[in-house]
Amino acid sequence: MTSVIFMGTPNFAVPILKGLVEHNYEIKGVVTQPDKKVGRKQIVAQTPVKQAAEELKLPVFQPDRLPRSPELAELIDLHADLIVTAAYGQFLPTKFLKSVKIAAVNVHGSLLPKYRGGAPIQYALLKGEAETGVTIMEMVKEMDAGAIYAQKVLKIKAADTTGTLFDKLSLLGRDLLLETLPRIIADPTDKTPQNQDQVTFSPNISKDQEQIKVTMTALAANNLIRALNPSPGAYLVIDGKRLKVWRAKVNSQKTNLPAGSLVAKDGRFALSFAQGTVLDLVEVQPAGKKQMPVKNFLNGQGSKFTVGEKIVDD
C-alpha cells in the first residue's frame, strides 16, 4: 500500500483527502493549519481538513510554522512514499520535500503557469477568463514552480463565483490526482517543466481590492463581485456607507450619465460605470443587515435615491 502525508486546510482539500482514503492509500498523517478564533464571539474553529481527518480517525499535525517545528522531524520520520498537498497554506522545507520515497505533489486550482500563488481561482474570475482548471504538479522550493504531471480544463460559466469554482475544481482535482498518481508512482520523472515565459501570479486579495470603483466597466465590476463571493465580498460606497454586492448582472444598456449614477430603479437597481456601461445589482447587503434581493433594498434604503443622481462615492 502506497503511503501518503496529506497537507491541506480548507474545504477544497477535503474531497481530495477522502478520495485518497477511499482508494486505499495509507494516510500516515494529515497536516493542517492551527485552529483559529473566528467571528464576533471568537469561537475556536477547526479547519475543514482537521474535521474530516478526525472523522476518518487519521493522525493530525498542526504546526504554527512547519519549518522550525518539532512536528517536522516527526513527519520526516514517517518515511512516507508521497506528500500530497492541496491548499495547505505554508511553505514546505526542502528537506521535508526530499524526505519522501517517490514524490511530493500539489493539487493546484489553476492552469499553471498561469496564476501561481494564493488566489488562483479568484484571479481567473477577476481577469475574466473563459476557462480555468487544475494542475497536478511537483512540489519544489519556489512557490508553484514545479514541473507539471497533469492538467484538466474547466469552462467558467457566467453564473460561476469563487465559491462554485472551488467546489467544482476540488472534485476535478481529486479525480485528476487519483488518475495521475499511479503514473507518478510508476515513473516520477514523467513530468513537463513550466513555460517560464507564460508565468503570471495571483497574490492574496487585499483590502483595497474589495471596493467596487466606478472607474471600472460594468464587466470588470461584475468580475470582481464574482471573484469575492462568498468571501470577503465586494462593496460599493453609496452615500458614505458600504453596500456589499453579492450578485449582479451586466446590462447591455448604454448610458450617458456620469459613472456612479443611478440609471434605473423601476424594479431594478442599475448603476452606470466607465465607458457608459450599466450594471444591475441583484443581491446586496447594506451595512449591519443581512443579504437581500435588490427588490427588498429598493423598498427600503434604496427608495430615497433619484434616477440620474450620482450616488456612488469614488
Residue of 245, 254, 242 lying closest to 227 (CA atoms): 245
Determine how many CB atoms are found less than 10 A away from the CB of residue 125: 23
Determine how many CB atoms are found less than 10 A away from the CB of residue 117: 15
Q: Is 93 annotated as a binding residue?
A: no
Specify the residue for cell string 477535503.
14
| Separation CA 271–CA 311 (nearest Å) | 9
Q: Is 262 annotated as a binding residue?
A: no
Q: Is 110 annotated as a binding residue?
A: yes
| Separation CA 225–CA 298 (nearest Å) | 20
Q: Is residue 236 a contact partner of residue 261, using CB atoms and an 8 Å limit?
A: no
Residue by residue, what is the 3-state secondary structure of 122-142?
Answer: HHHHHCCCCEEEEEEEECCCC
Q: Is 271 annotated as a binding residue?
A: no
Joined together, the cell numbers standing for residue 23 give 482508494
Feature table: binding site for (6S)-5,6,7,8-tetrahydrofolate: 110-113
Binding-site sequence positions: 110-113
